[in-house]
Amino acid sequence: MKIIEEFLESKDIRVTAMRLLIYKFLAEKQVAVTLSDIENAFEKADRTTLYRTIKTFEEKDIVHQIGDGTGITKYALCEKGCNCEIETDLHLHFHCNNCNETICLTEHKIPQIKVPDGFVSENVNLVVKGICDKCSGQ
Amino acid sequence: MKIIEEFLESKDIRVTAMRLLIYKFLAEKQVAVTLSDIENAFEKADRTTLYRTIKTFEEKDIVHQIGDGTGITKYALCEKGCNCEIETDLHLHFHCNNCNETICLTEHKIPQIKVPDGFVSENVNLVVKGICDKCSGQ
DNA sequence: CAATAAATGCACTTCCATTGCATTGGTTAT
DNA sequence: ATAACCAATGCAATGGAAGTGCATTTATTG
């Protein structure tokens, strides 16, 4: 817990009880979560607080947003190897069509994508859909 | 126009004036459009009709949906080379951060993405973001 | 302890997606 | 041709998620 506090401070994020809890929640989750997921986990807290906390985390580059095609934006902690603050970083995510969970595959880099002449690639969003390891193992 | 009629019939879609117009609209557009775009183009028609028409087109595999990260779903006609009814087809789209338009790059195939053991890849959604040819040429 | 600034909570708004139901319009069978 | 039927359309309403304004609480600083 102390470690989290120091980490947040190092990222220029003021430490509050709520923020510690939300960070802890994200860290324990192995998958990307929606705002509703967080909401359900902290029913005492107001939705706005959770929303703004996530936004703060995003601005300070410790959380990144994922659009996995479900229409609902999900969030995940940036881990080692996730350089999402860098525009050219490739975000590879896996969305399970069975359990509906989205997982960060930060260790799986993808090759540079070629685009036609005249187009300038700044950022790539790649979502692989299928069956995750938990669901395929059943 | 006769060609469109025959095409729709061949896809098991009942031909109506509205459907012909919407198909024509999509065919003329070179970019993926939102429901609002269609709505603006056909102010006389009801939003629901446009919505359901697009859904019908989707079910019959002549239109596919694109989530480009803007949060608003876009739609585009499936063209030659677009086999979006096939699960393993790779959808490559380009989203311009300047003009906000999304373009289908069906001719640009991308290599098979490797996923970790236990994961089964069924479908890949790839959106490249940057500046499109029109905007970069300014 | 006072003054200030940030964080939280509440209420409200907006936008898009979606559905139920009534109505219209086109197709088919008698 | 007409009745019966089913699909398409239009209208109204709902729901969910994102986002904003403002009051209040909490924390920090002088």
Helix (H) or strand (E) holding A36: helix A35-41
**What's the mean pLDDT when you consider all of chain B?**
90
Give the pLDDT band of residue A60 (cuts 50, 70, 90).
very high
B136-CA/C19-C1' distance, Å: 43
Domain of B15, in residue numbers: 2-136
Give per-residue pLDDT as tens, B66-108: 999 888 999 999 887 777 766 556 678 999 999 999 999 877 7
Give the rounded percent of residues in chain A with a pLDDT score beyond 70: 95
pLDDT at B89: 61
Residue B80 has a pLDDT of 73
Burial class of B121 by CB neighbour count within 10 A (0 to 12, 13 to 18, 19+):
middle
Q: Which nucleotides of D are covered by protein (CB under 7 A)?
A: 7-12, 16-21, 27-28
A95: CATH: 1.10.10.10
Q: How many domains does chain B have?
A: 1
Overall average pLDDT of the A113-118 stretch: 90
| Chain A contact present for B133, CB below 8 A | yes
Give A93 CA → C25 C1' in Å: 47
